[in-house]
Amino acid sequence: MSPASPSSIPSPTVAPAGAPKGARIIAITSGKGGVGKTFVSANLAAALTRRGLRVLVLDADLGLANLDVVLNLYPKTTLHDVFTGKSALDEAVIEAPGGFSVLLAGSGMVEYSRLTPEVRTQFLNVIQTLAPRFDVILLDTGAGISDVVLFSVSLASEVIIVATPEPTSLTDAYAAIKVLAMQQKRRHVRMVINQTLRPGDGRAITGQLQQVLERFVATDSGRPLRLIHMGDIPADPSVREAVMRRQLLLLQVPGCPAALAIGQLAGKVEETMLARPA
């Protein structure tokens, strides 16, 4: 995990919570890497699309993007081309299998592993331009608490942390949540526990993390950050098989336990995060 860093990370910059127009921006992030953020982002996007929503997934893991690999896409134009002025933003937004839109970063862009003022401005412009065209934008971020990750999370009004039941994943999730509470002044963070072995494990884990936060993390408001459990996704061999085939699980094996769990998660996301006042 990256070392704790930045005092310079802003509070959430785009704050569409309650705003009448524009996409709800949701960051999908984690403390530890490899816990399933890209898998959840892509399949949740497909499930939300199936529910009639206009969805964009933005590959916000600028240095180590791999959404293209999971979706078997070979983009001609990436975020890099947009940032350097080589291509127009519209050319870089493409349709993924599953019917949602994606904006891919392309891998190995080492120049984006550091957060410069240019990267900040470009990123912000891209999101502000695209927000009115979608109901929801999912930011598939990198793992950890580096400047770049925290900046992309700061662009979102809502955060979903993906963690697995492994102790290392939970320790890192705790560290990330603590930073989000202290630096971004988040009042709540949502949890998805991936690769669970038994029903109910995820809720119990979220409850344990909440207890630790209440004991050890004091926020400015004096109230502890609240963790909202959004769902569990069971460990399921079909996930790995779909990734190996570079297919979306929801299209490949729609009835498997992990796909069903993603469908339920989409229902909960729509109900609790996307409902707008009439």
Name which of Mg ion, ligand ATP, none residue 240 binds, using a CB cut-off of 5 to 8 Å depending on partner kind: ligand ATP
Q: Which of residues 125-144 bind ligand ATP (CB under 6 A)?
A: 143
**Shortest Cβ 66–ligand ATP spacing (Å):** 6
**Kind of pairing, strands 93-95 and 101-103?**
antiparallel
C-alpha distances (whole Å) from 184 to each of 95, 105, 179, 181 are: 32, 25, 7, 6
Q: What are phi and psi of 261, to 5 degrees?
A: -65, -40
Residues from 25 through 44 that contact Mg ion (CB under 5 A): 37-38
Cα 47 to Cα 86: distance, rounded to the nearest angstrom: 33
Q: Which of 24, 46, 57, 61 binds ligand ATP (CB under 6 A)?
A: 61
Closest CA to 252 of 4, 72, 124: 72
Dist. CA 181–CA 144, nearest whole Å: 15
236 touching ligand ATP, by CB under 6 A: yes
The two three-digit tokens of residue 6, written as one number: 């930045």
Q: How many residues bind Mg ion (CB under 5 A)?
A: 2
Is residue 30 within the footprint of ligand ATP (CB under 6 A)? yes
Q: Cβ of residue 38: shortest distance to ligand ATP, in angstroms?
A: 3
Residue least distant from Mg ion (Cβ): 38
Q: Which two tokens stand for residue 223?
A: 């109230």
When asked if residue 235 is in the footprint of ligand ATP (CB under 6 A), the reply is yes
Residues engaged in binding ligand ATP (CB under 6 A): 30, 33-39, 61, 143, 194-195, 233, 235-236, 239-240, 243, 258
